[in-house]
Structures are given as structure tokens and as C-alpha cells.
Structure 1
Amino acid sequence: MSSATAEYRIAVRALCDFTAREGDLDHRFTPSPSAQEGIAGHILIASRRGDGYMAELPLSGTYKSLTVTGRADGYDPAENRLEEVKTYRGNLDRMADNQRALHWAQVRIYGALLCRARGLDEVTLTLVYLDIATQKETLLSQNAQASELEAFFTIQCERFIAWAEQEAEHRLARDAALTTLSFPHATFRPGQRELAEDVYKAASTGRCLLAQAPTGIGKTLGTLFPMLTAMPRQRLDRIAFLTMKTPGRRLALDALAQLRPDEQAPEHAANAAPRVLELIARDKACEYPGTACHGEACPLAAGFYDRLPAARQAAVAENWWDRDALRKVALAHSVCPYYLGQELARWADVIVGDVNHWFDRHALLHGLAQANDWHVGLLVDEAHNLVERARGMYSAELDQQRFNRVRRSAPKALSRSLTSLGRQWQAVVKEVAESTPDDTDRTDYHLLDTLPDKLVGALQNAAASITNHLGEHPEDASFELQELLFEALAFCRLAENFGDHSLCDITLEGRGKALIGLRNLIPADFLTPRFKAAHCAVLFSATLTPAHYYRDLLGLPANTVWREVCSPFVARQLEVRIRRDISTRFRDREASLTPIVAEMAQQYQQAPGHYLAFFSSFTYLDAALKRFNEQYPDVPVFAQTPGMREAEREAFLQRFTPGGQGIGFAVLGGVFAEGVDLPGDRLIGAFIATLGLPPFNAFNEALKARLSARFGQGDDYTYRIPGMIKVVQAAGRVIRSPDDEGVVVLMDDRFAQPGVQALLPSWWAVGGRSSQ
């Protein structure tokens, strides 16, 4: 269907949200009612009206190609009064002007539709503001003529139709260009075509794909190209390329730059290229760090909605919105780059950003997809990290020290609720301390058998008190008080959904220094709906073995396909040795140091160059480094240290120069164990003096028990598989291209076990395994 004959439908609220916002951006903290409170408020208002009152009155109307629909909150035929009901907390006078303007726009649209439907010449429009705390109503009314309401309706519809027709034309041009999209290189790399074919099949069948593909084949380009090709054929509305770290975003943007249709075929229409948006964190996009997000404090927030339409139009004329391009457009129109990006997420074709934008509790892209019924294709890079990332998304923690600090400085009005919460804190701490034997270190970790319900109840009451108080006294909204509120709300929300997918624990770090956590163990329970919401999902990484581990813990669909892309590397490129005479178990650490440093020195003397040596902890690393320096002082060494800053990390990596020599000591699972690209002779070998097993402690044993009960795979899912993922990732730093050669020395007798070797890459020749 061409744009000229297209018909559009939109809800009243969505129409006004797009066409009628005006004034400042205002993100000052304003406590708002919950959805349940809002529904209850609407019911209460309807119950207070007369018998003839019509609640939830359906209305609709058409203007040219646009049909506008919605439900007016209430209409009183006897008074000829149309009502729009809004619930709120706090002082109504402090409501942001842009919100009030939006409310008037909504009731005016409903007024226009009502006058049409009932043939009215005029109507009284009323905004009904209901204070949730006091149940007091504030009515703002104005009489309106049908003619003026119809004129307002016409203006909003014209604005939307102009944008909708532009969007339809873009969609047609985009799909036409993508239909003829060609691969940007003369040939595919080995394994890249196979990966691309599997991704295209996943998009075509609407399935989930787990693709294990080795480093060096061009996974980013090999996944984006087929997904873009499938976009017009499968009627995908959006593609989301989700990453774990910033470098992944850069690789995706570089690949998308090569795939732009206007670069491949300049004869395409100017708006043919897919609109590409890079989503970045607010603190990295902010032009005025430390400034509050409202018009009185930030010049880019003042008049934001007045200038947004022009900025939005300028952006869609460009089609490319990485961090720099977005900033350029935003500053040219004096609007906030971060919030312009949030707006453009509604109109981008390909969004590149962190995995939290789809999988987190408040995920922007998932919310937009649900609201707009989008068909979305997901691409998840470095997907082996999603298990731990998702666990973090659905966990929460309360810090007693922070609470005590806030309580001492909090307004007196909050004293009662915070004191009550303090008593419950102390009760939990006392109960745990009393259950601890006298000879046990009180700086301790404890699992709680159940949720501390009284503490959670006191936390809910405190959150409600803080919310109500800040609604009346926003000037008291200190940073720490707001942080306590947000932590409390997050904890309470997770407590409402507490089940066998999570556990509750407490860490006693001294008097008044307890931490209570809700720790997610099985993210599947939260992620399954997110995968169902996508048309298709492709999760790819160099380490996605075994498939059932990811299917179970991520809650992937039952028909998920697992594929292993053939490696372009062969066994002769990588010498893999196992030191079966070394044990890196905790009890054997001291004895292991001499043979470990001897092996490292021997390999270095045999083939001088750059190596990385990985250890299970900084303590183990420091001991090995000291022993190595004592016995081999002539060999250049350098080491990772705890909490390295970005400049220090860069300096560490810059030591790996072409043709250089030396051994870098690092921690397995740290910043240098994955996502680091040191091709050619910048890195010729790795020593791995650990299986990477998580520590044996109360938490991991509880995790093991929970995973055993759910999946029957407690030991493997808790210890062996996560550890070997880290090992394979670290070893993967050595061979980065088909021309690389190197060595990996696995230093622990357990690497010889069949169950462990089954988790190593199939192209390695280890323990008698034949080479390709």
C-alpha cells in the first residue's frame, strides 16, 4: 500500500503525546500514583457522580486518512460536562506545565469527538485532579465551542498525518533498498556465510537461534546483514543490536556503516537508508553534568518540547544517529542529546545499545515494542554474559549504612516510618547474629530461609511515607533520600515476585553495617516473556556451549535452535598443552607456584614474545608475580591491579606492541580476559592457571541446590560451565585471525577430565583429540 492510500489509527493519548506537548523538559522527582491507584481513583470519581454519569465513554472520529479512538473518563449529559480524570500525589501547583498542557490537549480531543458524536454546539471540559492521599478533587473547567474543538482536532490530525505519511514513505523506501542489499565484501569469510544463513532462517521462521561462532569470522557483520535482508521480507519494524560493553556498539556501528543502502546504491531515495540510533547512558550524553533535568536549571531542558519537532525532523533527514551525530543535531536545536535519543528510539529502524534496553525491568525498547505492537528482531552480542547480566537486573540490595545516614538527616515528618524500619533492620540483624555460634566471625554471610516479611512491610511503609512527603515538599528531595526511595521500591517490587528463582541473604560487616539482598539465581523466569515479545532473537558468542545451559537459565523458547559455526582456525595454529602435574586448588596454591612460573619461563625462553597469564584471584596473581620476579628477573612483566582506571587499562594493553616481549599477569574473568583484540604477534600465548570455578561458599552452594532442584544440573551450572566459559574466553585472545599462531597452556590436572575437555572448542587438539 502506498503512503497516499494508507489509513492510520491512533489513540487519543498517543496523538496528543506526539503533537501537543509543549514547554520544558522536567525530570525533577515527582512521586506519582501506581497504576492500581490510578484505576482505583477513576472508579472513585465515577462513584461520586450522578446516576446518568457515563464512565469510560468510547469515542472515535476520522479526519482524512486518520482514525482517532479512545475512552473519555466520564461524561455527565445533564451538565453537558466532559471529564478527564488524573490522579496525583503532593502539591498540584507543582505539576509540570508540560503535563498540564498535555492533559488539556487530551480533553479537547475528546471534546471534539463528543461534539461530533452527539451533535453538540458546545461542551464544558473539565480536568479532574484527584489527590490519592486525601481523595480530594480539584476541578479545572472551561467552556468550549464545537467549532474551536474541531479546529484543534484538525491541527493535531494534520500534524500527525504529515509525519505518518513521511514515515510510510520512509518505510517503503527503506524496504525497497533493503530488498536489493548486497554484502559489502567480495566474499564471505570462512564460517561467515554459514552464520548469515542461520540468522536469516531464524528471522524467516520467527525462532530463537543460539549461534556459537569463533572470533575472527566477522560475527557482527554476519548477523546484521541477514537480519537487514530479512527486514522487508518478514515485515520487521525494528532491529535491536544489543551489546554487553561499549566496544560492541562501535563494532556494530562500523558494520552498519558498510551496509547503508545509500552507500551501496546512491540512486536510492535520500530516505532509503535504515535509521540507525546509538543509545548511550544519560551520564555520558549529558552536556551539563551535575545539573538537574528541568528548565529552571538546564538550558537544554528549557523549551525542550517546543523545539523537539524541528530537532526530530532534522534528525530523520540524516538517518544516522550515533553519539556524535545525535549530539550535533541536538545542540543545533538547543535540546538535550540524551532525551532526543530517547525520542528517536520511536522512529529508528536499527537501535544499537546495551542489553538492558530490552531485558531490564524498565527496558525502553521492550516498552515501546509492547506499546506499538512492533515486530522486533533481536541480535544479542557476547551472549554468554547475559546470564550474569540478567541476574543483576533482577536483584536488589539494601545498605544499612546508607539507611542510617539518611535517617539521621531526614525530615522530621519521616521520623516515625524510618524509625520503624530501623527497628525491623535491627530485629533481622539480631536474629541472624543470635543464630551464629560465638566462635564464628561476625563479619559473615548468611542465607535467610524466607523473606523478612516485617522488614519488607516496614520498607513499603517507609517508601510510601517518603513518596507522600516529597510530593508535598520536593525541596527535601536530597540525593540520598531519593536513592533510598528507589532502592526500597526496587526491593519491594522484587519481593512481590519472590520465588524459587531468587534467594534472600544478609551480610554482616560490623555494627550498623548490614547488607540485605534479593539475589536472582534463575533469570529465565523474568526473561522468558522478553523473548516471546520479539519476532526472533539471535544470541551469538564464541562460547555458547552447552546449549542447554543457556536454554534453561535464559528461559529460551523450546524450539530454540543451536548452531556451531565451523571454525576458520585449525589445530596446527594453536598448540594446547595441559600440565596434569599441577593443581591450582586452594589448598595447593603455594605448591603450585614453582611449577607454574617454571612453565611460563620455559615457554617464554623457547619462543620470546608477548603472553598473558591468567589467575583466579589478585592474591594468587600477586604470589605468582612475586615468585616469577624472584626467579626470572630478566623477563619483562606487568600486571593487572584491582580497580584499574580506563587510562591504566589502556596502558596495560599498549604494552602489547607488534614484535614486543613480556608477560602480562591478569585475573581470569576480568577486563583483559575477553573483548580484547591483540592480533598477530601482539599476543602469541596464554597461560591459564585456574579452571575459573566460582568460589565454594554459602551463596554458590545455595545456587547449586536451587539449580539442582530446577534442572538437575547444580554442579555443572554453578561451577564447571561458568568457569570453563571464562577459560575459553581468555584462551580466545590468542588466535584472532586465520594467520595467527600461538600456544595455550592449561595448568591444572582437572583440564584432563573428559567432562571438562567436552567444554573446550572442538577445533583444539587436546588430550589426543585429532586435529582438523
Structure 2
Amino acid sequence: MSNTIQIAVRTLVEHVYSSGSIDSRFRSQSTMLDGTRIHQKIQHTYQESDQKEVYLRAEIPFKDLLFTIDGRCDGLLCRDGEVTIDEIKSTSQPLENLGQEGIPVHWAQAIMYAYIYAKDHQLQEIFVQLTYVQVESDEKRYLKKCFTFEELEVFVHEVVENYYPYAKLLHDHRKERNESSKQLVFPFESYRAGQRKLAGGVYKTISEEKSLFVKAPTGIGKTISTFFPAVKAMGEGYLNRIFYLTAKTITRTTAEEAVGRMRSCGLFMKSVTITAKDKVCFKDETKCQKDYCEFADGYYDRINEAILDIVSNESCMNREVIENYSRKHTICPFEFSIDLTYVADAVICDYNYIFDPRVSLKRLFEEQKKSTLLLVDEAHNLVDRGREMFSASLNKDLFLQLKKEFKAFNKVIYDSANKINSWFISMKKNNGEQNEFTLEQLDEELIVWLNQFIEGAETFLQKETSPNLLELYFKVNAFLKIVDLLDNHYIIYVEKNKNDVTLKLFCIDPSKLLQKMGKGYRSKVFFSATLSPLSYYQDILGGKEEDYVLSIPSPFKEEQTDIFIKPLSTRYRDRERTKEPIASMIYSLIQNRPGNYLVFFPSYQYLLAIYEQFITEFPGAKTILQGAGMSEEEREAFLEEFKPNQTETLIGFAVLGGVFSEGVDLKGDRLNGVVVIGVGLPQLCFERNLIKDHFNNKEKSGYDYAYVFPGMNKVLQAGGRLIRSEEDHGTIVLVDDRFLQRRYQDLLPQEWLNFTVI
């Protein structure tokens, strides 16, 4: 039936009985593991006549909707002619904190199961039991009540009645959304060359529940070409939710604009944009504690009303809109945006909300994933971001600090911090002059001490506060989570730095974990202008042989771009020697072809060296410089300088792979040329060499995986800033003799190969 609302018992009661405050002061990280262990332990004591994990399902009509409610009760106890529903709850709190009656939401969950079972078996009465277990002491407390079927029916009716306004709102919206998506036409007058092919590829991928890797040129409109077919697939019932994942704020704005354009063509779609917690926090410090922050205090008492309000009145729930409603309802804007992801049709956010095992959206159930699409924009960025998300490190210094802080008043924390600090000291001494070295495996004793540290910290933090301890507690927890993932995709290494020592679990190949974190979703589409070579990205982003691959040729004419190669060495040893010729070449270029230029350098130091050379020799030229750690306002101001139809030439000096070499859209006359200094190779370093050796051992080209592919990706991204439409014209100059080598030329786009050597 089209008016059916499918919902889990737990989700339903947690919505209706939502109450309390956000408090991140301290929550034991091992709660879920403890919960599973305790459930199994209690279920182990059941008698032969009892059952555990019993699946229950009921259909409850209410007004114009039919609610299908299901779930598994922990225990069904059949003893002495009595039937009891047992709900097991573990808690790290002392049991006396639960009050005489227990927690209302726990009763609600158990009563729902009791109602379904009693209805199915025509029982006139049934017992409901809450079994509370304190995780550390194993102390148990049983609360048991008897209910008549009439009492259960009244209770369940009230729960459904409370949930109905929210369910009705979502149901009516989805109906409207699906109808409007069927009617939706492509929101531009015509498809650009390549757009129809891309849209068709995305639709086919969704309908066949596959994954797709796409190399599609800059400027064809990838965002709309992937979003539009996804919306059409929604109308056909293939999808219920779209995640648009990106690494940069600027591409988030492009995604919001694409959804906005489809709305203006008649689409009913609710979209939410998640902004990082520290950016949206209303307080001076990001401290989620009810006695410090009024937006955290009582958050769950007000969240349902806030969600109803915003969803009833808004379609585009971007940062500004979320902040307005957060102030209106006095709720945390970050947590609000997370809660809205479960009701939105489209979620625009960073990669980590899906792929990072430490922050992913845990409440997205497997059932919901099956109707969810992941659109992964600028997917080339996911390689290093994946490595970052799946790696973890610990420093000696932090343990030394805590050892001193806790020496006088907490033996457990002092002892474990002391042992860990001593382990680091032994690492420092035992490996002589080597500043970096790998370990075959992680010392078992160290893991024992880290776990002891966690236990001691948990006990302390439940009663007291210590900012240093809390910070290290979370760090060690994150580290131990990664310990569980260690396999042959990892390398463990130690790095000595003056007095400090770092231990790092380095995820050298993120493919397996990216695949694992993306499991269960209906389809995934990885796309970028620089997904080249496609085979490399498919391999390292966790693609499978059966995935679809699509390469869209550039729709722009070769004549739109003049390509020049200046074969000067930009290798580190030659930089001083070639500094003057590079500065002269830039000046000669702007003399012969006036306009707005961006010149990209492989490092900030190199940028400053050439910049100083340039302004010394040519003081009259107008230049602007990318600063280190620019604020959003400063970035905007930098780009504002690139005005169309300027009478004076402007040269922007920027860093390759930095904020201005990706996602920046300077259309028409705002940008007339791009100069790329060097082939973009990452600096030679221990980690990159580990990557090189790892892939060499797998009979792949390790040097390409570690250096050439990531480097040339930055070159292609920078060059891609130039031609953004059919009307754009401009000049690209590639400065490095290696651009004339086959290895590098094979990675250049087809339309760049008609170059002139200068």
C-alpha cells in the first residue's frame, strides 16, 4: 500500500520519548560492546522454554496511514503459565540513578513488543520486564509489571498518535516528491556535449545497483548531470535518499545550487547541508555540556518540535536556515543538521560522514542504505582522505604530561601512562640513529597498557573532569579502533622528532576499508575531471571488476586553449638556477598575452622564492599572493580580484593542490591563463616511499602510485580552472622538462597534446 509507514519499534519509541541533553563531557566508548556482551550473558541464563531475539511485527492502522512496526525483543520467557517480554539494558551509571521506575523509553520499547506478541497470540494479559545491568559491577536490577491487553492497546495507540504528525508530514512530502520527480525535465535548455551520456550512465548504474567510476571534464556540469538522473530514479522508486559527498565547501555550494535549480523547475525536495561542528557552534568553545551550553541543555526535549517546524516550512536546509531554526528552538545547530539527515531526501556533506569509521552516520540502518545513493564528487581527493580517515597515531609527549599530572592522586592512570611513556622511550633508544622505522607488528603489551589506560580514564571521567585526560582518552580510543582494522593494507611505523616520539598506524591502501564503509548502499558514483588513469582510481578507491567505468571526452574545442611547454627543470636541486628564467617567462607571457593569470607552484617556499624574484625584476606588474592559512573571507577577497575586462594584467601566485587549484570557477574573462610550475610530485618523504615500496611489492608501479599520479592530478586540476564554458579561451603553460617525457604525457588530456614547446 502506498500509505504504509515502515518503522522499527526502537526508532518509534525513541522519537516519541525523546528527552534530555547533549552531553559529550564523557560517555564510555565501550558501551556498545558492553551492551552486546551483557545481552549475551543474560540470554545465556534463559531456560529451555525461553526464546531470545524474537522477531515481532504488527500492522496498526491510524487515520489514513498504516504503520508496519517491527523489531526483535531480547527475551520471551515462558514459565509457569506466564509469558514475559524481557528487555535487557546495560548502563555505566550506578543503578540507583535510574530511579524507582526505570526509564520511560525502555518501558515503551518493551510494551510495544508485549502488545505485538499478545495480539498475535490472543493473550488477555502479559508481563513486561526490564533487566538493568551495571557494566562494571555486573549488578542487576529487575523491574516487572503485568499489563492487560486493553492497557497495552491504549498505550500503543497513544505512541502512534504522537508519531503520526511527523509520519504524515514525511509521507505526504515523499508522495509529492516522487510525483514531481517523474514530471521533472532537465533544468537547462539543452544538454551540453557529454552531459546526456553521463546522466544516462548514472541512471543505468542506479537501476542495476552497480557502482560507477567517471572521468568527466571540468566545465560540463557534472553536478547536475549526476544529481538529475538520481532524482529521476527516486521517482521510479529506486531511491529514497541521495548523499552528495565532497571535500570542499565550494563544491557543496555547487550541489546546493543544482538542487535549487531543479526546485525552480517544480521538484519538491528537502535537502540538508552538514557544516562542521566547530564552524556552526554558537558558543566561544565547542563544549557540548548542558551546564555550559544552553543549546545542548534539554536538546532532546525540543528536537521533535524543531524538526516538524523546519520540515514543514523549508526545502533548502543549508547552514543559514539551520542556524536560524536552531536559535528559534534553542538547539545545537550541528546535532540538528545530523538529525535532519534522517528525514532529508538529499544530504550534502563531507566524505567522512559515510566513510570515516569514527564519525559515520551510525543510525542509517541497512534497510535505508538499500535505497540510498552515494554521489562522490572530486573523488580523486578520497585517496588521501581515505588514508587519513583510516590511520591513527599516538605521541609520547601526551603520556609524559599525564604521568606528571596524575602522579599524586590516581595510581591506575599514572601507572598506565608511565608504562606507555617508557615504551616510547625504549623505541627511541633501541633504534639508534634512525629517525623513522617500521615495526613488523604492534607490541601486545602496549595494547594491554592502552586498554588499562582507557579503563582508568573511564572510571575517573565518570566523576571528575580533566581536559588533558579527556583529549587523550578520545585519541587512544580512536587509535584502538584502528588497531582492530590492522591487516596487510597497513604499515606500522615510529617517527622520532627531537624529544617526542610518534607511533603511527598508517593505512597505506584505503581500498578495502572504503569498500567496507560503502557496503550496503544501492549504488555509488565516483566522479572527477581528473580520475586519470581510471584503472588506478578504481583500484585504490575499492572498486570491483564488475563496476562500470565511463570516460567522457571534453566538449570544448582544441582551439579554445593554447598549450605551451617550457622545458626548464623545477627539480629541487635546480630551482635556484632556473628561478630567473621562470620569472622572465611569466613576464614575457603577460606582455604578449595580457589578462588575468594564476601561476601554481608545488610548494609555498618555492612560490615565495619566484615571487620575490619576479617583483624585484618587474616591480610594475600587479600581483596577489595566496597566504598561508587564509580565512574564508580572505579567499573570497583573493578571487574577487579576478574581474572581467580588466585593463591591467593581474597575476595570482598560488599553491598547486591548494584551495585555488580546485573547485574554483572563474568564468569568461575573469581568467585568461594558467601557468603550472612543475609536475606536482609530492615531496620525497618516508610515508610516500612506504607507499611506493608497498605497491612495488604488489607488482604495481609504486613510483606512479606514490608520486606521479597524485602529482599530475594536481596539474590537471589547476589547468582545469581555465576553460569552464564554450565561450572561454585561454593559455596554459606547463613549466618542466618532464612534461616532454612519455610517462607524464600519457596522463595529459587529449586536448592538451597539441602543444608548442617554448
SS at 2:214 equivalent = strand
Distance 1:487 1:246 in 2: 26
Q: Is the 8 A contact 2:203 2:229 kept in 1?
A: yes
Q: Does 1:45 align with 2:47?
A: no
Which of 366-375 and 693-702 deviates more? 366-375
Q: Does the 8 Å CA contact 2:272/2:348 hold for their aligned counterparts?
A: yes
* SS of 2:752 mapped into structure 1: coil
CA distance in 2, matches of 1:496, 1:574: 51
Aligned-residue offset at 1:698: 2.3
What is the DSSP-based 3-state SS (H/G/I as helix, E as strand, rest coil) of the residue aligned with 1:550?
helix
State the match for 2:67 in structure 1: 66
Deviation at residue 704 of structure 1 after TM alignment: 0.7
Q: 1:510 to 1:95 in 2, by over 3 A?
A: farther
Paired AA for residue 228 in structure 2: F
**Alignment map for 1:368-383 (pairs within 5 Å):** 368-370=364-366, 372-383=368-379
Q: Which amino acid aligns with 2:437?
A: H
TM-score of the aligned structures, taking structure 1 as reference length? 0.90
Structure 2 residue matching 1:490: 3-state secondary structure: helix
Q: For residue 264 of structure 1, what is the aligned residue in structure 2? A: 265
Does the 8 Å contact 1:708/1:714 carry over to 2?
Answer: yes
Preserved CA contact (<8 Å) 2:278 2:286 = no
Equivalent residue for 2:489, pick from 478, 482, 501: 501
Question: Which residue matches 2:219?
Answer: 216
Contact 1:611-1:684 within 8 A present in 2 as well: yes
Residue deviations 1:235-288 (CA, integer Å, cap 9, x gap): 21111111111111111111111102xx434xxxxxx71221112222333333
For residue 16 of structure 1, what is the aligned residue in structure 2? 13
* Residue identity opposite 2:737 in structure 1: D
Alpha-carbon contact 2:563-2:756 (below 8 Å) kept: no
Q: 1:590 aligns to what?
A: 576
How many Å apart are 1:55 and its aligned residue? Answer: 4.4
- Contact 2:91–2:133 (Cα < 8 Å) also in 1: yes
Quote the Cα distance in structure 1 between the aligned partners of 2:530 and 2:273: 26
Cα gap change, 1:409 to 1:698, in 2 (>3 Å): same
Q: CA deviation at 1:410?
A: 4.0
- 1:599 pairs with 2:574: no
Counterpart Cα distance in 2 of 1:184 and 1:570: 24
| Alignment-derived partner of residue 306 in structure 2 | 311
Structure 1 99/704 Cα, relative in aligned 2: closer, same or farther at 3 Å? farther
Distance 2:609 2:696 in 1: 35
Partner of 2:405: 409
Q: Alpha-carbon deviation of 1:693? A: 0.8
In structure 2, relative to structure 1, the CA distance for the partners of 1:639 and 1:452 (3 Å cut) is: farther
Q: Which amino acid aligns with 1:187?
A: S
d(CA) in 1 for partners of 2:513 and 2:489?
9
Matched, 1:510 2:509: no
Structure 2 gap ranges (5+): none
Contact 1:552–1:711 (8 Å) recurs in 2:
no
**Mapped partners of 2:177, 2:622: distance in 1:** 55
Matches of 1:215 and 1:541, distance apart in 2: 8
Q: Amino acid of the residue matched to residue 373 of structure 2?
A: G
What CA distance in whole angstroms lies between the structure 2 residues aligned with 1:38 and 1:432?
39
**Match of residue 459 from structure 1:** 450
Letter of the structure 1 residue corresponding to residue 199 of structure 2: A
Name the residue aligned to 1:526: 513
- Distance in 1 (CA, whole Å) between partners of 2:56 and 2:17 is 19
* Aligned pair partner of 1:724 in 712, 728, 731: 712
Provide the C-alpha distance between the structure 1 equivalents of 2:573 and 2:221, rounded to a whole number of angstroms. Answer: 42
Q: 1:54 to 1:568 in 2, by over 3 A?
A: closer
CA distance in 2, matches of 1:486, 1:402: 12
Partner of 2:750, secondary structure, is coil
- 1:492 and 2:489 are equivalent in the alignment: no
**Contact 1:424/1:454 (<8 A) preserved:** no
1:275, 1:348 within 8 Å by CA — same for their partners in 2? yes
Matched, 1:182 2:154: no
Post-superposition offset of 1:211: 2.0
Answer yes or no: is the 8 Å Cα contact 2:202–2:226 preserved in 1.
yes
Contact 1:238 1:374 in 2 (8 A): no
Correspondence for 1:30: 27
Q: How far did 1:63 drift?
A: 2.9
**Structure-to-structure mapping, 1:210-609, within 5 angstroms:** 210-260=213-263, 263-265=264-266, 273-290=268-285, 292-318=287-313, 319-365=315-361, 367-370=363-366, 372-410=368-406, 414-437=410-433, 444-471=435-462, 473=463, 475-476=464-465, 478-511=466-499, 513-580=500-567, 582-609=568-595
Higher alpha-carbon deviation: 90-99 or 714-723: 90-99
1:222 Cα shift? Answer: 1.7
**8 Å contact from structure 1 (residues 528, 557) kept in 2:** no
Question: When the two structures are aligned, how many residues end up with a matched partner?
Answer: 748
Are 2:271 and 2:345, in contact at CA under 8 Å, matched by a contact in 1? yes
Describe the SS at the equivalent of 2:698.
helix
CA drift at 1:422: 3.3
C-alpha change, 1:723 and 1:351, in structure 2 (3 Å) is same
CA spacing shift, 1:450–1:96, aligned 2, 3 Å: farther
2:611 maps to which of 601, 621, 625:
625
Moved more, 305-314 or 130-139: 305-314
Say whether residues 1:713 and 2:701 are aligned partners. yes
Q: SS where residue 259 of structure 1 aligns? A: helix
Q: Secondary structure at the match of 1:567?
A: coil
Q: In structure 2, how many angstroms separate the alpha carbons of the residues matched to 1:189 and 1:88? A: 58
Distance in 2 (CA, whole Å) between partners of 1:757 and 1:75 is 72
Q: Given the superposition, is the C-alpha separation of residues 50 and 227 from structure 1 closer, same or farther in structure 2, using an over 3 Å criterion?
A: closer
Q: Residue 413 of structure 1 contacts residue 469 of structure 1 at CA under 8 Å; is this kept in 2?
A: no
Q: Decide whether aligned partners of structure 1 residues 612 and 592 sit closer, same or farther in structure 2, where only a CA change above 3 A counts.
A: same
Q: Distance in 1 between matches of 2:235 and 2:102?
A: 38
Letter in 2 for 1:619: Q
Supply the AA of the counterpart residue of 2:718. Answer: A
Which one is further off, 493-502 or 447-456?
Answer: 447-456
Distance 1:422 1:711 in 2: 43
Secondary structure of the 1:669 match is coil
Cα pair 2:241 2:346 within 8 Å, conserved: yes
Assess, with a 3 A threshold, how the Cα gap between structure 1 residues 639 and 325 changes in structure 2: closer, same or farther: closer
In structure 1, how many angstroms separate the alpha carbons of the residues matched to 2:97 and 2:755? 72
Deviation at 1:98, TM superposition (A): 13
Q: Deviations over 1:304-356 (max 9, x none)?
A: 33433332222332333222223333433343333232222112111111111
Q: Residue 387 and residue 150 in structure 1: after superposition, are their counterparts in 2 closer, same or farther (change >3 A)?
A: same
